[in-house]
Structure 1
Amino acid sequence: MADPLAGAWPAGYRVRPATALDTDAVHRLVAACECALHGRATTDADRIAADLGMVGGESACDTVLVTGHGGNPAGWGWVRGRRATVHVHPEHRGRGLGAALLAWTEARARELGGDRLSQTVSDSDLAATALLRSGGYAKMVTEWLLEMPLPEEPEVPEPPAGITVRAFRAGDEEAAYRLTEDAFDEWQQRRKPYAEWARHTVGRATFAPAASPLAFAGGRLVGAVLSLDPGDPALDADAVGKEGYVERVAVRRDHRDRGIARLLLREAFRAFYLQGKRSCVLFTHSDTGALPLYERIGMTVRRSSTVYGKALVTG
């Protein structure tokens, strides 16, 4: 079997799989990329740990870490299913690492039996966008990072008739998993196993149950907002404790258009405000159709990204 890390890598770099032990190093790399592009970092170490746990559990070769002199991370990437992610440290751009990492993701995806591959790139990253387009990638969907300023305590509307609301508590995990995955089945590429879902939501060290309100009808879960508190001094010392993050928003199909999502979001915003946060952010994309909802409650676009994809030719 061919070495999954073999390839045309630029001279002077070493290549190996990334593991959970590399979480801090990869986090610094990703934070440096985000600061260079956006002036601030938004990905915390907890998210990197979740990604490494997801891809490393089955095969360490689904990740690649490129290091330069002194062993400092210069680039990294991972592949799982039809998705890939690649980052190149700003100090190592223009040396062919991006092209080498992209080639690795495609080769690895083919070895895993994939027939398509997609990657999300910030619209401000013109070099990465050009690289993907030159490689045959086409635009699939648009993603937006939305923000909600919290200068004062948000007002929360009364629940619709027959709906009760409370904060997430231990024992709600399985019901929240089924609700959110059922809702996301309408547009996501694959349904996540519970363990993978939990690693990115309720199992994260930054999961914020007090800012994760749930809606019930007759004792059955019909709506959920799952939030994180990602404050991290390594990202932005001035912003620590001032920004909350909504990871999931879902309402059961037969209870939509009743104001439940708006109610739960405002409950989450209020919880974050009472904890001292002065803004809250979340990601959405064009396939969900949720952007108008978020804009109606006062959220605005901080930045946008594009998901690019292409068919993989084998042989």
Structure 2
Amino acid sequence: MVDQSPVPLPAPYRGRPATLADARAIHDLVAARERAVLGTTETEPDRILADLGVPGLDPALDTLLVHDPAGRLVGRGWVRGRRSAIDVHPDQLGRGLGSALLDWAEARARQVGTEGLSQTVSDADRPAVALLRSRGYEPFVTQWLLEIALPEEPEVPAPPPGITVRPFRPGDELAAHRLTEDAFDEWQTRRKSYEEWAAHTVGLDSFAPALSPVAFAGAEMVGAVLALDLPETDEGYVERVAVRKDHRNQGIARLLLRESFRAFHREGRRTCVLWTHSETGALSLYERVGMSVRRSSSVYGKALEPS
């Protein structure tokens, strides 16, 4: 394999950009890292495909794969705007691959004029945390994986007056995109196009319309829970929760969550999980419906000096 890496890599490793054909190998790498740190795999294969196909990403410039002499994928980097992801195979730690990939990510971010770079890592991933801190990165957002046990079918309250609830149907996609992006505008740095949003929600193979309740006031969608039916786990997974601003504080979010939990229970799932983070201010909402923190991650970032 010819080394195509734009930054020096430790010998005898070789680098090249990623392609869609690499999605399976990248997932295997990410899964190995997750099992080593968390004891389980959380990232599904179609999530890797969505990341590689996100609008605005140029895989030839914004991705880097690292292979060992036998051709095995042992590291990967991904950069888009201020966001980055770096993974090194657990049996290759301590060989300088993480530092080299971080050098590449920072160089790529500077090349496109990005003023800062961030990366999300599990608080349990001590090598990754130590590397980022040694390079001047500081945590600025906390993320929590929340869980709820479902030994019995959850009770679901009646909707507020004027609100109707039903499962997600074909044709709801654009309304759900507008609703969730409007809700997330309060804390996210940029609004996602429909194509980018769909690639990580309703366009996933694991998206489960029957487990995703939506709320309406008349013909207007005012609330949604978008859920995934992940094939490699026995847990339910909620991907998005949103309520339109003028319909908050009516119990719609709690109602929709309990609808989704009940649907998962009827599918045989006895636990349901979701992620939230400190900028949404939603942790107390999830605690009120009976969820608790399983583990946490942090978003680390730093400002980049111009090259």
TM-score scaled by structure 1?
Answer: 0.94
- Unpaired runs of 5+ in structure 2? none
What's 2:196 paired with?
A: 196
Q: Distance in 1 between matches of 2:276 and 2:118?
A: 17
- Contact 1:146–1:301 (CA under 8 A) maintained in structure 2: yes
The within-5 A match list for 1:78-89 is 78-89=78-89
- Contact 1:145–1:304 (CA under 8 A) maintained in structure 2: yes
- Contact 1:168–1:213 (CA under 8 A) maintained in structure 2: yes
What's 1:285 paired with?
A: 277
1:95 paired to 2:95: yes
Deviation of 1:90 after TM superposition, in Å, equals: 0.1
Structure 1 residue ranges (4+ consecutive) displaced by more than 6 angstroms after TM superposition: none
Aligned residues: 305
Amino acid at match of 1:267: E
TM-score scaled by structure 2?
Answer: 0.96
1:112 paired to 2:112: yes
What's 1:275 paired with?
A: 267
Deviation of 1:23 after TM superposition, in Å, equals: 1.1
Q: Distance in 2 between matches of 1:60 and 1:277?
A: 41
- Contact 2:19–2:59 (CA under 8 A) maintained in structure 1: no
- Contact 2:212–2:226 (CA under 8 A) maintained in structure 1: yes
What's 2:236 paired with?
A: 244
Q: Distance in 1 between matches of 2:236 and 2:20?
A: 25
Question: Would the alpha carbon gap of residues 39 and 59 (structure 1) be closer, same or farther in structure 2, given more than 3 Å must change?
Answer: closer
1:25 paired to 2:17: no
What's 2:144 paired with?
A: 144
What's 2:72 paired with?
A: 72
Moved more, 177-186 or 223-232: 223-232
Computed over aligned residues only, the root mean square deviation of the Cα atoms, in angstroms, reads 1.4
Specify which of 246, 249, 271 is matched with residue 254 of structure 1.
Answer: 246
1:295 paired to 2:280: no
What's 1:306 paired with?
A: 298
Structure 2 residue matching 1:69: 3-state secondary structure: coil
Structure 2 residue matching 1:309: 3-state secondary structure: strand
Structure 2 residue matching 1:70: 3-state secondary structure: coil
Q: Distance in 1 between matches of 2:179 and 2:99?
A: 39
Question: Structure 1, residues 64-122: CA drift from partner, whole Å, max 9, x if none?
Answer: 11111321110111111110011111011000011111111111111122111110011
The within-5 A match list for 1:129-208 is 129-208=129-208
Deviation of 1:57 after TM superposition, in Å, equals: 5.3
Q: Distance in 2 between matches of 1:105 and 1:57?
A: 14
- Unpaired runs of 5+ in structure 1? 233-239
Amino acid at match of 2:30: V
Amino acid at match of 1:284: T
Q: Distance in 2 between matches of 1:154 and 1:276?
A: 13
Q: Distance in 1 between matches of 2:99 and 2:225?
A: 38
Question: Would the alpha carbon gap of residues 33 and 105 (structure 1) be closer, same or farther in structure 2, given more than 3 Å must change?
Answer: same
Deviation of 1:218 after TM superposition, in Å, equals: 1.5
